[in-house]
């Protein structure tokens, strides 16, 4: 099997070459509310990925006390200048996540979270693309998916069914004996996305199982990052079964899927007259009277366009709307 790491790098290299030939670079906007440490790490990784392939990344970090209507307005403004938009989760409890998801236009929902999004959710998309890159056809295979979340389990089940797989989806209410039976006896592929450290061991996996895809991100008793699968024991006692690693596995597939979605959104051409639209929206809401940009980066401070639109010399969101 081509590893997730090697596949991700292959995709990045292709995207980098493609973007180099574009007159305008794709733009991803990342909106983060608050200072969650895990979110900081995820955002940092996304920025790094974008820089690597040539996608312009606009990051907006908002105070955790921001009101929902202010966040929704911020998203509306961002739609004027970005090809793709993501709002980093989790959000503070006083903000309705569904309202935020649906505020992002379906043509720019590169996370694929909306029901009517133009894009597939990144993790399921990454898994499917990686399997096909390895020449593994799921048509006719028995696939067991553990977990039914809105962004992994459910969309992955549908994508697998669309490709001819026979799919069984287990959840927290599934009888453990039945779950063990189907993973041990029937599964060609197991996808675990339940968030329980080393939940699956070699005894839970049948000798005919070809691939185990570990979506879980957990900490074991020693505080070490691990997945849902006890990979060491499976590799030792089920040597013919390939298990994706954690870290260095599905997380990389998710990240390159996001990059692919951003480039596709850019090619679809939904962002036009970005600066003019943003200025119009700002003036409509009396932005220049109510708010003054603060804490600008050094490039923004010296830019004559600051407060009047998007500065082409700076990737800082402050150039467009200010960063209070």
What are residue 168's DSSP bridge partners?
144
- How far apart CA 5 and CA 199 sit, in angstroms, is 24
> Any catalytic annotation for residue 46?
yes
Paired tokens of 242: 């390939």
DSSP secondary structure code for residue 200 in this structure = B
> Any catalytic annotation for residue 111?
yes
Q: How many CB atoms lie within 10 A of CB 86?
A: 24
Output the 3-class SS for 140-195. CCEEEEECCCCCCHHHHHHHHHHCCCEEEEECCCCCHHHHHHHHHHCCCEEEECCC
Q: Are 85 and 104 in contact (CB under 8 A)?
A: yes
Place of tokens 């090619």: 267
Backbone angles phi, psi at 17, to 5 degrees: -65, -40
Q: Which helix (H) or strand (E) holds 56?
A: strand 56-62
Place of tokens 């820089």: 51
The catalytically annotated residue of 12, 46, 125, 141 is 46
The catalytically annotated residue of 12, 49, 83, 88 is 88
- How far apart CA 132 and CA 117 sit, in angstroms, is 23
Query: CA-based angle 192:194:198, to the nearest 5?
Result: 70
Paired tokens of 205: 């996996």
The catalytically annotated residue of 111, 188, 204, 214 is 111
- How far apart CA 82 and CA 257 sit, in angstroms, is 17
The residues assigned a catalytic role are: 46, 88, 111
């Amino acid at each position: 099997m081509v590893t997730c790491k090697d596949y991700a790098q292959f995709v990045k290299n292709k995207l980098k070459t493609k973007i180099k030939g574009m007159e305008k670079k794709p733009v991803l906007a990342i909106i983060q509310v608050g200072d969650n440490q895990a979110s900081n790490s995820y955002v940092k990784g996304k920025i790094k990925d974008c820089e690597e392939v040539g996608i312009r990344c606009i990051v907006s970090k908002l105070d955790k006390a921001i009101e929902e209507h202010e966040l929704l307005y911020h998203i509306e403004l961002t739609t004027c200048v970005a090809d793709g938009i993501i709002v980093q989760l989790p959000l503070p409890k006083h903000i309705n996540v569904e309202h935020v998801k649906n505020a992002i236009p379906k043509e720019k929902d590169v996370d694929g979270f909306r029901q009517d999004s133009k894009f597939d959710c990144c993790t399921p998309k990454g898994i499917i693309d990686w399997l096909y890159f390895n020449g593994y056809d799921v048509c006719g295979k028995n696939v067991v998916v553990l977990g039914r979340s809105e962004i992994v389990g459910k969309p992955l089940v549908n994508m697998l069914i669309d490709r001819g797989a026979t799919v069984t989806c287990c959840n927290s209410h599934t009888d453990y004996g039945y779950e063990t039976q189907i993973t041990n006896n029937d599964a060609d592929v197991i996808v675990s996305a339940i968030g329980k450290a080393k939940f699956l061991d070699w005894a839970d996996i049948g000798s005919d199982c070809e691939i185990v895809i570990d979506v879980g991100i957990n900490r074991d008793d020693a505080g070490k990052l691990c997945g849902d699968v006890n990979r060491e024991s499976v590799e030792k006692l089920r040597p013919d079964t390939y298990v994706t690693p954690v870290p260095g596995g599905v997380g990389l597939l998710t990240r390159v899927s996001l990059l692919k979605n951003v480039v596709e959104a850019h090619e679809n051409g939904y962002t036009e007259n970005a600066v003019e639209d943003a200025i119009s929206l700002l003036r409509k809401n009396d932005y220049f009277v109510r708010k003054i940009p603060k804490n600008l980066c050094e490039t923004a401070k010296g830019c004559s366009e600051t407060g009047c639109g998007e500065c082409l010399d700076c990737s800082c969101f402050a150039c467009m709307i200010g960063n209070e």
